[in-house]
Amino acid sequence: MIFTTVALLGISLSGATAAAKQFSVLGALEISNVSTLPHNAPTLEAVKGPTRELISLTTNLSPGSILVRTQERKLYFILPDGQALAFMVAVGREGFAWHGTNTISRKAEWPDWRPPPEMLAREAAAGHIIPDMVKGGPGNPLGARALYLGDSDYRIHGTDKPWSIGQASSSGCIRMLNEHVTELYGLVKIGAKVVVE
């Protein structure tokens, strides 16, 4: 896989020879056990358009900031000169979507997942018992990386459900494909501004 590399202070874009360099994750991501998909779950083949691309974007946000447009199911990592890396994401499902501004307060590789008490109670009331902690690893709902938003329970993170990308399916967090969140993790700095609209 070829990823565009960005050095935020010297800002060099290598591998971006066209104005809108694209690749589809379908050739790069292997879903090894499709039988684990929930009944009628959308697949990545249902996602329209590329899941990652370099685009032109006009915004007042500074380079290094993140913009999430929930209606578009897109996360934009802001680059200099009116450009951005655009990633397809999953966003909060109905009743769980949110909007606001925060900052990246912490970054973690293969993070442990500790669902908040309200999620444990909500799931238990629906007859789903979930563990109060899942160790980091491929089967963890947070996936390969997590970017924590302030002191909230919200994160930008990877996923063990790649078929959810492009959907409104989370409990409010922003989900990315693991290879995309790993790329973003390497680019974004602690203290970076995050705007969710």
Task: Convert the pLDDT of each residue in 102-137 to its tens digit.
Answer: 999 999 999 998 888 888 888 889 898 888 888 999
Tokens matching residue 168: 């409104």
Tokens matching residue 192: 């970076």
CA 79 to chain centre: 17
**Confidence category of residue 85, pLDDT binned at 50, 70, 90:** very high
- Mean of all residue pLDDT scores within the chain: 80
Phi and psi at residue 77, to the nearest 5°: -95, 115
Question: Is the model's pLDDT at 138 over the cut of 90?
Answer: no
pLDDT in tens, 144-189: 999 999 999 899 999 999 999 999 999 999 999 999 999 999 999 9
Average pLDDT (39-59) is: 70
Q: What pLDDT was estimated at residue 5?
A: 35
Element containing residue 14 per DSSP (H, E):
strand 13-14
All domains in the chain, ordered by first residue: 5-196 (2.40.440.10)
Residue 50, SS3 per DSSP? coil
Percent of the chain with pLDDT over 90: 60
Are 68 and 197 in contact by the 8 Å Cβ rule? The answer is yes
Integer Cα distance of 194 and 197 in angstroms: 10
Are 170 and 90 in contact by the 8 Å Cβ rule? The answer is yes
Contacts of 176 (CB under 8 A, 6+ apart): 75, 87, 89, 90, 143, 156, 157, 158, 159, 165, 184
